[in-house]
Chains A and B, each alone.
Chain A
Amino acid sequence: MPGPIDIQSSEWMELVESEERPVMVEYWHHKCVACKQMKPIYEAQPELFGNEIKFTRMNLLESKENRKFAIRGGVRSTPTFILYCQGRPVGQIIGSRRPDDFTDEIRALVDNAENCLMATPLEEE
């Protein structure tokens, strides 16, 4: 299972909004110590959730556009992990966590996102 995909704000439509699965986006930057602490923990998640969630991350130091995008989306601290369904935020985790707690919280967010999955157009029979 590959690790989280690095995304740019310019790729939002293509990589997050048009995705049928819930998408997790980590807003982080490479000078943020809490982000560094969370890196191995976040990178271990795709293995645990399989294809259920798409894991991505956006580096806020990579471009001004990324920073402005995160600010508009309500990010006020790094790392912030926001789970989206077709681009709509359904829940967030702010700051660092111990590995098990982090996985449990993601699980709770996905369970919460069930109604959002129902809104996905079903294949016609």
Chain B
Amino acid sequence: MYDIAIIGGGPAGLTAAIYAGRSKRKTILFTGSNIGGQISLTFQVENYPGFPESITGPDLVEKMTAQAKKFGAEIDERTVTGVDLSSHPYRLMIGEEVIVAKSVIIATGSNNRLLGLESEERFMGRGVFVCATCDAVIYEDLKVVAVGGGDSAVQEALDITKYAREVEIVHRGKEFTASNYLKKEALKNERIKIRFNAVVEEILGEDYVSGVRIRDTLTGEETVIETDGVLIAIGWTPNSELFKGQLELMDNGGIVADDVRTSKQGVFVAGDINDDKYRQLVTACGSGCRAAIEVDRFLARG
């Protein structure tokens, strides 16, 4: 039996594993296939204290993993397929195998929210993309429609203009929710066009994306915009599927909790799964640390 089972191998889970391992608690962390989580998709991490020369996301994950292992945490790359939190000790299912633990830290993070269109799924990787850092270069001299109006949509639209000849931002609201600085940058960029009060109804094309059909939410009028790429940047969905029926969930899919403490004794939550406000590397690490300290107190009480 483990003292602590951590689900999720991003910065929150890894920080919790470092603390738990260092407290000599028998610890296992399941990364699943998405090793390192969202930070693995960041090329240069420039705002993590202690790395003035910047560090790549994957390198940082590698170092955190090594640090967790050094303190004795087991890192398992398999995916947790089910949990049973109805009785203590808690049980985690990995396919056929069952792991038993006295406490659980949920650090499963969040994924890009998608529009939920059938055409979006069909064209994923064929013109539809969610990672501008990865795929912007593919749109040299082409046109991209960026869907969304928050910080990440506007920042990524600006990044794409380094390559694309035009980026048209389609946003359902009547103004951006992005920060003032980004708003101004977008408004003065000649390569950016903006369409407010518009929603994407369908992504069009044969083998690759060739356009999007949008609807004006005020007039109901539909228009087709020709485009080579569609960036989806409409926010995040907490990865809480595994805990449906086991823990109380919020409307946005996050887990009901008082900071890192869920409603179940010995079950804690950390990182972006419950953060729609800050979503920083350092805040994820911070909550991973708090969860590990709470776990330690829980285990000490016996």
* Chain A residues packing against B (C-beta within 8 Å): 29, 31-34, 36-37, 60-61, 64, 67-68, 70-71, 74-78, 94-95
B208 touches A33 (CB 8 A): no
Query: Which residues from chain A contact B127 at a C-beta distance below 8 Å?
Result: 76
Q: Given the known A-B contacts A33-B42, A37-B58, A67-B163, are A75 and B138 also in contact in the complex, defined by CB atoms under 8 Å?
A: yes
Q: Is B15 an interface residue, CB under 8 A from the partner?
A: no
Cα(A32)–Cα(B56), bound, Å: 10
CB distance from B159 to the nearest CB of A (A): 10
Q: Given the known A-B contacts A77-B125, A77-B129, are A34 and B137 also in contact in the complex, defined by CB atoms under 8 Å?
A: no
CB distance from A75 to the nearest CB of B (A): 6
B58 touches A36 (CB 8 A): yes
Known pairs A34-B41, A76-B229, A78-B134. 5 more at Cβ < 8 A? A31-B43, A67-B138, A68-B140, A76-B127, A78-B138
A76 touches B137 (CB 8 A): no
Cα(A78)–Cα(B135), bound, Å: 6
Q: Given the known A-B contacts A67-B163, A76-B125, A76-B127, are A33 and B57 also in contact in the complex, defined by CB atoms under 8 Å?
A: yes
In B120-177, the 8 Å CB interface with A consists of 125-127, 129, 133-135, 137-142, 163
Query: Which residues from chain A contact B141 at a C-beta distance below 8 Å?
Result: 64, 68
CB distance from B77 to the nearest CB of A (A): 9
A-B contact count (CB 8 A): 59
Query: Which residues from chain A contact B138 at a C-beta distance below 8 Å?
Result: 60, 67, 70-71, 75-78
Cα(A105)–Cα(B141), bound, Å: 32
Query: Which residues from chain B contact A68 at a C-beta distance below 8 Å?
Result: 140-141
Cα(A115)–Cα(B224), bound, Å: 42
B58 touches A67 (CB 8 A): no
Cα(A122)–Cα(B43), bound, Å: 47
Out of B42, B58, B140, name the residue touching A71 (CB < 8 Å).
B140
Q: Is B274 an interface residue, CB under 8 A from the partner?
A: no
Cα(A71)–Cα(B41), bound, Å: 22
Q: Given the known A-B contacts A76-B208, A77-B129, are A33 and B40 also in contact in the complex, defined by CB atoms under 8 Å?
A: yes
B163 touches A34 (CB 8 A): no
B126 touches A76 (CB 8 A): yes
B208 touches A64 (CB 8 A): no
Q: Given the known A-B contacts A76-B126, A76-B208, A77-B125, are A32 and B142 also in contact in the complex, defined by CB atoms under 8 Å?
A: no
CB distance from B132 to the nearest CB of A (A): 11
Who on chain A is nearest to B137 by CB? A60
B126 touches A33 (CB 8 A): no
Out of A33, A64, A76, A78, name the residue touching B56 (CB < 8 Å).
A33
B135 touches A36 (CB 8 A): no
